[in-house]
Amino acid sequence: MVEKPIFIVGVGRSGSTAFHEMLSEHPQVTWLSPLCNLCPQNFFLNRLLMRAIDCPLAGTYLKRKIKKSEGYKFWEFHCKGFSAPCRDLLAEDLTDKVRAKIQKIMSAMLTNKRNRLLIKVTGWPRIGFLQAIFEDAKFIHIVRDGRAVANSMINVGWWRGWQGPESWRWGELTPSQRQEWEKYGKSFLALAGIEWKILMDAMDKAKGSIDSNNFLEVKYENLCCDSVQVLKGVLKFCNLEWSEKFEKSIRRHPLENKNYKWQKELTNQQRCILEDVLGDYLKKYGYV
């Protein structure tokens, strides 16, 4: 039985991968590996991998070589529509069939030692949907300066904003959003900023549907500044034990705050557009 699963959520390019890598070092957590995508129907292979990781000799090598995965092919195989819905997934989207299936599969992945499930998903929060599957789930929201996120978005190959909002994953623009986009000549950078706002609004709405004791917000900037102190708070929130061994393992993941890139890589005009688009939200989240 899955108890108090931990879900890392947030907008893509917000530092959730680095955070996931760190938290995955904890000896009590089970995480999704590339095996889940390669053989989604043979989910027991992931459990065998978790056991192998705890072997004295092979474990160290395996942990270094095998990357953590969000497992979207795995999710899509067992839960149609999970990977790329056009809007956030809500509790009312969940069927009894899918609830029972996901509970059974995730439970089968756990080991006696690694009895806490750790999952990362980005984009739509999916909090309502996931909490309807696991009532005692813990959610950790990774937040990063929207200017840095937007600049990072336009520099990755998977960003679909280049095809316009008609072809992306975040639904149609509202009249006010379209007006805002067109105000800047349909700037792609402005569109990336609007995407960040859409997803942050979805997160605010989603977190209001769950117990505040099960929701924690972690700023990427604080994680870079003092990862040890941030992770101590995270482990307390997750009801996981701190140890010197865990501290030593997370220190092997040094982080550099790269928020400066948006200022260095964008023109003066582009920086002005981005700050204008994100202005109120930057104030709301403490970035000005």
Q: What's the CATH number where 102 sits? A: 3.40.50.300
DSSP 68: P
Q: What is the mean pLDDT of the chain?
A: 97
H helices of the chain, in order, are 16-23, 34-38, 44-53, 58-65, 72-78, 96-109, 127-133, 146-153, 175-183, 188-207, 220-225, 227-238, 244-250, 261-265, 268-284
Residue 248: inside a domain = yes
92 inside domain: yes
Q: Is residue 272 part of a domain?
A: yes
Has residue 1 been placed in a domain? no
Domain count, the chain: 1
Helix (H) or strand (E) holding 213: none
Burial pattern 228-267, b for ≥16 Cβ within 10 A else e, equals: eebbeebbebbebeeeeebeebbeeeebebebeebeeebe
| Sign of the dihedral through C-alpha 144, 141, 28, 242 | positive
Q: Which residues, 6+ apart, have CB-to-CB distance to 10 below 8 Å?
A: 16, 122, 141, 142, 143, 144, 203
Provide the pLDDT confidence category of residue 64 given band limits of 50, 70 and 90.
confident
Residue 92: give the domain boundaries: 6-284
Confidence of residue 58 (pLDDT cuts 50, 70, 90): confident
Q: How far is Cα 138 from Cα 44, in angstroms, rounded to an integer?
A: 24
Rounded Cα gap, residues 134 and 5, in angstroms = 7
Q: Does 206 map to a domain? A: yes
- Is the pTM value of this prediction over 0.95? yes
Give the confidence band of 245 by pLDDT, cuts at 50, 70, 90.
Answer: very high
For the chain, what percent of residues have pLDDT higher than 70? Answer: 100
Contact 32, 46 (CB under 8 A): yes
* pLDDT value for 57: 82
Amino acid found at 208: G
